[in-house]
A = this chain, B = another copy of it.
Amino acid sequence: MSQAAPHGGKTRSFFAWGNVEDALSAEERTAVDQGLSALPVWDPSPLGPAPKAADYALTKPRVSPPAALAETLTADPEERLRHSRGRSYEDLALMLMREGGQAPDYVAYPETEAEISALFDWAASAKVALVPYGGGSSVCGGVDTGVGDGYDGVVSLDMTRFNRILEVDRTSRAARMQGGLLGPELEAGLRPHGLTLRYFPQSFEFSTLGGWIATRGGGHYATLYTHIDDFVESVRMVTPEGPWESRRLPGSGAGPSPDRLALGSEGVFGVITEAWMRLQDRPSHRGSASALFKDMPAAGRAARALAQSGLFPTNCRVLDPGEARFNGVGDGASAVLILGFESADHPVDAWLARGLEILDDHGGAYDKAAAQRSLAKGSTENRSGAAGQWRDSFVRAPYLRDHVVQRGLILDTFETAIPWDRFEQFYHDVVAETADVIKRVTGVAADVTCRLTHVYPDGAAPYFTYMAHGSNSGDFASCRAKWREIKAETNAIVVRHGGTVTHHHAVGRDHRSGYEAQTPPLYRDALRAVKQRVDPGAVLNPGVLIDAQAAMRVAP
């Protein structure tokens, strides 16, 4: 069978983030290196040769699929490598180590639910694990095919052939769409109808509708519609024991929500083949401002007032001084709050005016004239300035990370959520304790920065970034060992101080220690009881979320 179609004429990297063509250019790499050269952690590894598929030792497929599945499966080496893991720091380190041992025996590209069911039947009878795969952008070990002992083979179940929009209901602003639609395909299909899902995670280009639902992903917008959860009108999930489809309803009180058991199930119960999703009109009115605050707690108090105001800003993103400096917004010494309102229905003047009053009340400094100009129809003010710079660096960040990692640094993020009453102390403690861990593990002091990606009336979602020293000699195994130690500690730090181990990246394998610390054992037992009912052969995504397999990655 043929390989997956390239993305807009571009080629997906089999080992790194996104498209081969979008990796940093030589000029960009030099600029990044120069920008980092003053940092204590900058002690770069020489850039080695780029990985090639031939670098990896792949086992021969260990199992033989039935003839009926021959058209659905491929054993192409590059396909197997690309599907062997997601795109976390550790995934990249393993690829740079040329670790291919855990690659799946096959990649399946089913096009019908009948083919998925046939895969389920074969998997149960042949002791084959199936790992559902959307866009492969997991940063928590969610699509890892290193499933450990107990299986005779592993297949990555790529859903991207399920990429059709099946029905559009303009009246209700909803559409029935297949689970394998990548972000750009989905939006392109809705555009002729004047509709949009308006769900833009950082992984937008490289993640799918089904993946967003399975992981309870979080989009770009800061309030109200934060997670994918609230856009789901109904879900169709195919399990080894048959379909699980909820009725399309705007609201219901009939028992526990069936959708909410599919949301966050991370592929351990079934594969999401379709969903009816709530859509929005494309916004035509905008207004925005960027304000400086003396420090993160002060900016956080302004964000809290905005989140509790009932104004529901589209953007209400807060960067601490280090984060602002790294992203080239603000004056580098202040925290920055980026506030934006958007509407498809009405001018947002009154909304922005009240938002600015709240910024004033909390000591925010911003350009009043620029805020006023942002309200003009077609204003470029919303596309430039701090908001625009932020957006550009947001989309490019994973490519930048890939380069920095190849230079031997450990660049990673972790995200959480915490009620407002604990936020200031939490911010202080998590930054300080993470910095201590990094110093201890790597021997070199490192900056830990923070932004708020989403704000709620009752709390915030802080997102932490750190860049640590790994190796100056291309020793990615050593980098990876350090990362694992730091990761285990940050899971524990976040949960110990009252946060959730993940706000929108999902649990996967990498967050299981934190997940187990924060959830009641009885609840996880209840999920296992559901798993037993819908996947009695335990073929789906072993090791992830609640599955009995290894609690972190299987070491190669």
Contact = CB atoms under 8 A, between A and B. Distances in A.
Contacts of A343: 310
A189 interface: no
A216 B253 contact: yes
Given A243-B522, A256-B260, A520-B245, A250 B310 contact: no
Contacts of A519: 246-247, 254-255, 258
Interface in A338-363: 343-346, 349-351, 354
Contacts of A304: 171
Contact of A311 (B255, B261, B345, B459): B345
A450 interface: no
B523 A244 contact: yes
Contacts of A308: 173, 281, 345
Nearest to A252: B500
Greatest chain B CB density within 10 A among A256, A264, A281 is at A256
Interface in A162-207: 169, 171-174
Contacts of A522: 239, 241-244, 533-534
Interface stretch (A388-396, A405-413, A417-425): A417-425
A280 B458 CA distance: 10
Given A253-B505, A526-B261, A421 B534 contact: no
A251 B346 contact: no
A71 to B, nearest CB: 28
Contacts of A260: 256-257, 260-261
Contacts of A529: 526, 529-530, 532-533
Contacts of A345: 308-311, 354
Contacts of A523: 244, 246, 258, 261
A289 interface: no
Contacts of A266: 255
Contacts of A312: 310, 312
28 contacts: A171-B304, A171-B421, A172-B459, A173-B458, A216-B253, A218-B253, A226-B251, A243-B520, A246-B519, A246-B520, A246-B523, A247-B518, A250-B458, A250-B461, A251-B456, A251-B459, A253-B500, A254-B264, A255-B515, A255-B545, A256-B527, A258-B523, A261-B261, A278-B457, A349-B350, A526-B530, A526-B533, A530-B530
Q: What are the nearest 10 A-B pairs in CB distance?
A: A250-B459, A350-B350, A260-B260, A216-B253, A250-B456, A529-B529, A171-B421, A252-B500, A172-B419, A172-B420
Given A227-B251, A248-B498, A256-B261, 20 more contacts: A169-B419, A171-B419, A171-B420, A172-B457, A173-B457, A173-B458, A218-B253, A233-B458, A244-B522, A246-B520, A247-B519, A250-B459, A251-B454, A251-B456, A254-B500, A254-B515, A261-B526, A278-B458, A525-B533, A529-B532
